[in-house]
């Protein structure tokens, strides 16, 4: 076979090929000065959500929300929250007159795969913004990737303090609330409901999010309700069977069980805790209680009866009565036949906020978008909070009341919902009821709070 | 040339040509056409092709030659990544020290794990390696979080020391380089409505893959390789003749562990992040699939298998209903919905299903993997006319499945 490769032949072929390839060479990125500048009359957004694995349900709901947001941006459907949004830059003609197209990918809830998927959206599909995610690990990983590649990352459901704490990035933004806010909102409600001086036993998912949530709840309950922590037991993620972790709770002298679990783990641990009869017990003269700090509709549906009367917190719920929430719930319900989850809400809002920021900046350049989302031109601040860091992009009408995208760490500050499992749900969708809308001032923290320190936004990166 | 002869040389040259022209070969469809969805010629995926190619080539040295089925090889991949990222953090953004350390660390761990696991063979060996890998995954995921950063994955930070790079704090995250050549450097070639992306990182990884492939050919053709094959065909007979086979199998285990470490280091060099999922048992299973799909014990098979699986994972998973509707937009509305419904379970989140069906088809009809398919096609052509066979098929024909 080797006789077919003569030196002359190889050289000639190589020279011709090289000449042909080199002829029309130029760098696409240099034309615009930033990565993936939209060409022609369309702009591509990348929606990167878990479509397989433990959080696939959340991912599917996020995709529906993205689809709806794109429809509304392109002027199809009833416009949803575009009609209630305090900024009126979006008129249904896409973004800056360019029609919005999108690509989707499967993160499998794994940081590695999420990055590969986002990378292909950026490199192959020319996505200018990446959004989505149902877990903090992939969110942090993709946020870092977007920072390096020079595109904007609008985080989906990510609740860990680290996303806008020690792992925050200039190109990344989070609308969802975080573990600290959950603790601050739950503290007074739980103290009022269950009394001071209770003894809490924590079961905590053994990874970053579980730890930050556990620390946040422990700190909040310790300072507000003077609760004492009996023990914190770390459980492996995806354990399935939690009975061996729940049995020791019975003799620990604790009268509260805090489940720092999410998704399928939470459904299993809560169901098993109730089956063990924990909630029928009397300890230290109190009724034994269970708390699930982070709730979602999909988990509530999975846990069924077990969730009745159990407290937790949420970013948003479709039962809210403001015009924005109602408009969104209506258009989502009409299209898909059931109300949206809070994961869907945050993804929808993030897409709109990105589009609005581009419109205000007048460019897709990530640095312009960052400036717009930080509210550099028209800085706003929340009323009633006396703080130097209370400055950023202020908006309203997207379902959480007045909201601040804080410039200092790209975290949204807004009201937080304290929820409780409904005692008498009328349908599969109102298994949770709103106990209290905790005002922003109560969940406010400074960017240098010890639970968030160690990070650095760095500078915005336009790539290329 | 290079100590290769005849068909080995042809095979090596063909693989070289494939690696060099991959950016063109993998982007056959013009930008904007509806088939552009199937283009795979972007740097990140091409890098994955060659890196997982290295991983599979190394795995094949153990599994293909000795028949020892390791179910924990992803542990070495993960180790390599962690070692590389730590080098980026502590020493320098240059990829060379990182790759050296990742290969060495993986080799050391392979020595220890192999020493223990190789005391058993068959299913017991597989279970032992699986147990080690899952242990390491669990450690990386939670217990060793100060070192591995747990679920989030180990990443670069602005205030890393980076001793050799001067140590001053940059304003944005530094990027990996090879003596100044940035790994993410790319040039886009426009030719009519086609676009080809030439990436520095891809070619660096591609060259390492060629070196790895060359070494693998040499091992396959060496007396050492012959000894490993003998272990596979009848280890008892070897032992009865008074020959101790364990040093040979251990050497094969360590070599393939080092290949995996190199692949892991390269993954980190292209994208400086190391996550624990890289060590999970699913990742170990994936490399087994790659090798069997392509053809265990063949030279080219593992590379083909790696490419195919990564292609499915990255391309098929991106086809959503919107894309399907665009494809079938020309047919009448009723038909369109039917077609979309029919295809829906096989694309997007259903890519696992398509891959699974394909794997079944290959195992049932082509027990020797894709390479056997190539061989059969090659034979078909040769029967018609002696010169009609494609170079690749002929090359494949040289190494029939075992």
- Write out pLDDT tens, residues A351-369: 999 999 999 999 999 999 9
Closest residue by Cα to residue B33 from B326, B248, B315, B257 = B326
Q: Are A154 and A148 in contact (CB under 8 A)?
A: no
Q: How high is the pLDDT of residue B327? A: 80
- Residue B242 falls in which region: left (phi positive, over 0), alpha (psi -120 to 50) or beta: left
d(CA B402, CA A103): 42
Residue A247: C-alpha distances to residues A176, A260, A269, A309, A409 (Å): 34, 17, 12, 22, 41
For residue A24, the chain B residues in CB contact (below 8 A) are 189-191
Between A103, A144, A207, which is nearest B141 by CB?
Answer: A207
Q: For chain A, what is the total number of helices (H) and then of strands (E)? A: 14, 17
Between A28, A105, A110, which is nearest B277 by CB?
Answer: A110
Q: Are B228 and B44 in contact (CB under 8 A)?
A: no
Closest residue by Cα to residue A464 from A358, A364, A352 = A364
d(CA A218, CA A208): 15
In angstroms, the separation between the Cα of residue A205 and the nearest Cα of chain B is 10
Torsion (CA) B3, B9, B13, B16 in degrees, nearest 10: -50
Q: Are A350 and A173 in contact (CB under 8 A)?
A: yes
Q: Are B298 and B396 in contact (CB under 8 A)?
A: yes
Please report which confidence band the pLDDT of residue A317 belongs to, taking 50, 70 and 90 as the band edges.
very high
In angstroms, the separation between the Cα of residue A258 and the nearest Cα of chain B is 20
For residue B142, the chain A residues in CB contact (below 8 A) are 206-207, 234, 236
Token pair, residue A39, equals 């060409």
Percent of chain A residues past pLDDT 90, beyond the cut = 63
Percent of chain A residues past pLDDT 70, beyond the cut = 93
- Residue A285 falls in which region: left (phi positive, over 0), alpha (psi -120 to 50) or beta: left
Mean pLDDT of A255-275: 91
Between B44, B173, B351, which is nearest A123 by CB?
Answer: B44
Helix (H) or strand (E) holding B130: helix B123-138
Q: Are A133 and A421 in contact (CB under 8 A)?
A: no
In angstroms, the separation between the Cα of residue A106 and the nearest Cα of chain B is 6
Q: How high is the pLDDT of residue B385? A: 57
Token pair, residue A152, equals 């904007």
DSSP E strand stretches across A214-310 = 228-235, 256-260, 282-283, 286-287, 289-294
Residue B335 Cα to chain centre, angstroms: 40
Q: How high is the pLDDT of residue A13? A: 62
Measured between CB atoms, does B389 come within 8 Å of chain A? no
Q: What ranges in A362-456 are assigned the alpha helix state H?
A: 366-373, 440-443
Inter-chain CB pairs, A–B, below 8 Å: 149
Checking if the pLDDT of A438 tops 70, the result is yes
Instruction: Using the structure block, give the residue that is written with the tokens 């792992």.
Output: A167
Rounded to 5 degrees, what are φ and ψ at A135?
-160, 155
Measured between CB atoms, does B222 come within 8 Å of chain A? no
Between A1, A106, A206, which is nearest B349 by CB?
Answer: A106
Q: Are B314 and B321 in contact (CB under 8 A)?
A: no
Residue A108 or residue A44, greater confidence? A44
Q: Do B151 and A115 touch (CB under 8 A)?
A: no
Mean pLDDT of A49-77: 90
**In sequence order, what are the beta bridge partners of A43?**
A100
d(CA B103, CA B84): 9
Q: How high is the pLDDT of residue B34? A: 76
3-state helix vs strand vs coil in chain B, percent to 5? 70, 5, 25
β-strand pairing of B273-274 with B154-155:
antiparallel
At residue A436's C-alpha, the angle toward residues A434 and A438, to 5°, is 130
Q: How high is the pLDDT of residue A424? A: 87
Measured between CB atoms, does B185 come within 8 Å of chain A? no
Q: Are A340 and A65 in contact (CB under 8 A)?
A: yes
Token pair, residue B116, equals 């223990």
Q: How high is the pLDDT of residue A14? A: 60
Q: How high is the pLDDT of residue A25? A: 40
For residue B395, the chain A residues in CB contact (below 8 A) are 1
Rounded to 5 degrees, what are φ and ψ at B65?
-90, -50
At residue B86's C-alpha, the angle toward residues B84 and B92, to 5°, is 80
Closest residue by Cα to residue B289 from B85, B55, B98 = B55
Q: What is the mean pLDDT of each run of 10 residues along chain B (402 residues)?
A: 83 93 90 81 91 95 94 95 94 94 97 95 94 93 85 82 79 84 86 87 95 95 94 91 93 97 95 87 91 90 92 84 79 84 83 88 90 89 61 47 42
DSSP, res A75: T
In angstroms, the separation between the Cα of residue B42 and the nearest Cα of chain A is 6
Torsion (CA) B112, B113, B118, B122 in degrees, nearest 10: 180
Those residues with Cβ within 8 angstroms of residue A408's Cβ, 6 or more apart along the chain or in another chain: A389, A391, A392, A447
Measured between CB atoms, does B153 come within 8 Å of chain A? yes
| CATH 3.40.50.2300 placement within chain A | 42-177+318-409, 180-314
Those residues with Cβ within 8 angstroms of residue A69's Cβ, 6 or more apart along the chain or in another chain: A80, A347, A348, A351, A352
Residues for chain A: how many in total? Answer: 464
Q: How high is the pLDDT of residue A6? A: 66
Q: Residue B149's closest chain A neighbor by CA? A: A208
Q: Hey, how many other C-beta atoms are within 10 angstroms of the C-beta on B221? A: 15
Which CATH architecture fits A42-177+318-409?
3-Layer(aba) Sandwich (3.40)
- Residue A461 falls in which region: left (phi positive, over 0), alpha (psi -120 to 50) or beta: beta
Checking if the pLDDT of A273 tops 60, the result is yes
DSSP E strand stretches across A107-214 = 129-132, 152-155, 172-174, 199-205
Those residues with Cβ within 8 angstroms of residue A187's Cβ, 6 or more apart along the chain or in another chain: A220, A221, A223, A224, A225
Instruction: Using the structure block, give the residue that is written with the tokens 């809830």.
Output: A109
DSSP, res B143: I
Q: How high is the pLDDT of residue B201? A: 93
In angstroms, the separation between the Cα of residue B321 and the nearest Cα of chain A is 10
Q: Are A203 and A254 in contact (CB under 8 A)?
A: no
Measured between CB atoms, does B322 come within 8 Å of chain A? yes
Mean pLDDT of chain A: 89
Residue A403 Cα to chain centre, angstroms: 16
In angstroms, the separation between the Cα of residue A281 and the nearest Cα of chain B is 33
d(CA B204, CA B199): 9
- Predicted complex: ipTM over 0.95: no
Helix, strand, or coil here: A291?
Answer: strand
Q: Are A225 and A286 in contact (CB under 8 A)?
A: no
Residue B263 or residue A425, greater confidence? B263
Q: Residue B42's closest chain A neighbor by CA? A: A124
| Of the candidate ranges A67-76, A170-179, B8-17, B315-324, the one whose mean pLDDT is the lowest | B315-324
Q: Do A112 and B277 touch (CB under 8 A)?
A: yes
Domain boundaries, chain B: 40-297
Assess if CATH 3.30.750.24 describes domain A180-314.
no
d(CA A413, CA A416): 9
Closest residue by Cα to residue B86 from B269, B270, B257, B279 = B269
Q: Are A121 and B250 in contact (CB under 8 A)?
A: no
């Amino acid at each position: 076979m080797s006789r077919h490769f003569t030196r002359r032949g190889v050289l000639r072929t190589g020279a011709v090929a090289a000449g042909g390839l080199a002829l029309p060479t130029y760098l696409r990125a240099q034309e615009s000065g930033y990565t993936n500048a939209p060409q022609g009359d369309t702009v591509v957004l990348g929606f990167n959500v878990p479509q397989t694995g433990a959080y696939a349900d959340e991912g599917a709901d996020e995709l529906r929300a993205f689809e709806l947001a794109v429809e509304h941006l392109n002027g199809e459907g009833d416009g949803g929250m575009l009609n209630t949004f305090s900024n009126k830059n979006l008129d249904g003609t896409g973004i800056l007159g360019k029609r919005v197209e999108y690509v989707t990918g499967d993160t499998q809830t794994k940081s590695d795969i999420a990055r590969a998927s986002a990378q292909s959206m950026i490199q192959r599909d020319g996505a200018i913004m990446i959004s989505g995610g149902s877990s903090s690990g992939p969110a942090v990983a993709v946020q870092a990737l977007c920072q390096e590649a020079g595109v904007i990352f609008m985080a989906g459901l990510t609740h860990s303090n680290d996303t806008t704490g020690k792992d925050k990035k200039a190109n990344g933004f989070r609308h969802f609330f975080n573990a600290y806010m959950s603790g601050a909102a739950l503290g007074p409600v739980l103290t009022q409901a269950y009394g001071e001086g209770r003894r809490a036993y924590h079961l905590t998912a053994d990874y970053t999010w579980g730890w930050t949530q556990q620390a946040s709840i422990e700190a909040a309950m310790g300072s507000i309700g003077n609760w004492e922590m009996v023990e914190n037991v770390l459980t492996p993620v995806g354990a399935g069977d939690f009975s061996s972790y729940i049995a020791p709770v019975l003799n620990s002298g604790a009268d509260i069980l805090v489940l720092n679990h999410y998704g399928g783990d939470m459904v299993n641990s809560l169901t098993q805790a109730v089956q063990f009869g924990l909630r029928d017990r009397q300890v230290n003269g109190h009724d034994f209680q269970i708390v699930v700090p982070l709730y979602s509709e999909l988990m509530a549906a999975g846990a069924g009866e077990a969730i009745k009367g159990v407290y937790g917190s949420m970013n948003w719920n479709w039962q809210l009565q403001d015009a924005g929430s109602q408009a969104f719930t209506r258009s989502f319900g009409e299209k898909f036949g059931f109300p949206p989850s809070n994961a869907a809400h945050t993804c929808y809002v993030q897409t709109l906020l990105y589009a609005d920021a581009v419109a205000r900046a007048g460019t897709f350049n990530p640095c312009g978008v960052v400036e717009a989302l930080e509210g550099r031109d028209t800085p706003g601040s929340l009323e009633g909070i006396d703080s130097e860091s209370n400055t950023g992009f202020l908006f309203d009408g997207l379902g959480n009341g007045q909201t601040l995208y804080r410039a200092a760490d790209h975290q949204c500050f807004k009201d937080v919902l304290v929820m409780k499992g409904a005692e008498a749900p009328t349908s599969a969708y109102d298994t949770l009821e709103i106990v209290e809308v905790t005002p922003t001032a109560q969940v406010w923290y400074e960017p240098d709070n010890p639970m968030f320190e160690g990070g650095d936004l760095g500078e915005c990166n336009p790539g290329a | 040339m290079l100590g290769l002869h005849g068909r080995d040389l042809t095979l090596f040259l063909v693989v070289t040509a494939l690696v060099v022209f991959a950016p063109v070969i993998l982007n056959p469809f013009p930008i904007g056409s509806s088939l552009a969805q199937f283009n795979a010629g972007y740097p990140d995926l091409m890098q994955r092709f060659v890196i997982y190619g290295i991983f599979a080539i190394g795995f094949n040295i153990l599994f293909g030659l000795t028949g020892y089925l390791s179910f924990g090889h992803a542990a070495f991949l993960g180790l390599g990544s962690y070692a590389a990222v730590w080098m980026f953090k502590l020493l320098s953004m240059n990829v060379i020290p990182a790759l050296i350390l990742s290969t060495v660390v993986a080799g050391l761990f392979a020595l220890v794990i192999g020493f223990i696991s190789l005391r058993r063979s068959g299913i017991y060996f597989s279970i032992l390696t699986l147990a080690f890998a899952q242990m390491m995954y669990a450690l990386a995921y939670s217990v060793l979080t100060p070192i591995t950063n747990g679920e989030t994955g180990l990443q670069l930070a602005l205030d890393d020391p980076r001793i050799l790079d001067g140590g001053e704090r940059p304003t944005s995250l530094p990027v990996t380089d090879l003596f100044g050549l940035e790994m993410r450097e790319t040039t886009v070639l426009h030719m009519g409505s086609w676009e080809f992306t030439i990436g520095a990182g891809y070619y660096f990884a591609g060259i390492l893959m060629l070196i790895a492939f060359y070494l693998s050919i040499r091992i396959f053709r060496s007396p050492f390789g012959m000894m490993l094959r003998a272990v596979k065909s009848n280890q008892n007979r070897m032992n009865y003749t008074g020959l101790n086979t364990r040093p040979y199998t251990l050497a094969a285990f360590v070599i393939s562990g080092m290949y995996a470490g190199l692949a892991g280091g390269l993954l980190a060099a292209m994208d400086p992040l190391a996550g624990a999922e890289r060590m999970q048992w699913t990742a170990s299973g994936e490399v087994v699939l790659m090798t069997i799909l392509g053809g265990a014990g063949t030279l080219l098979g593992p590379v083909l298998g790696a490419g195919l699986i990564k292609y499915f994972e990255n391309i098929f998973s991106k086809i959503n209903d919107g894309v399907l509707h665009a494809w079938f937009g020309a047919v009448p509305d009723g038909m369109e919905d039917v077609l979309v419904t029919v295809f829906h379970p096989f694309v997007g989140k259903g890519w696992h299903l398509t891959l699974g069906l394909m794997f079944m088809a290959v195992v049932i009809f082509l027990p020797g993997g894709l390479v056997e398919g190539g061989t059969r096609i090659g034979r078909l052509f040769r029967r018609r006319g002696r010169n009609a066979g494609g170079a690749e098929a002929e090359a494949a024909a040289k190494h029939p499945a075992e």
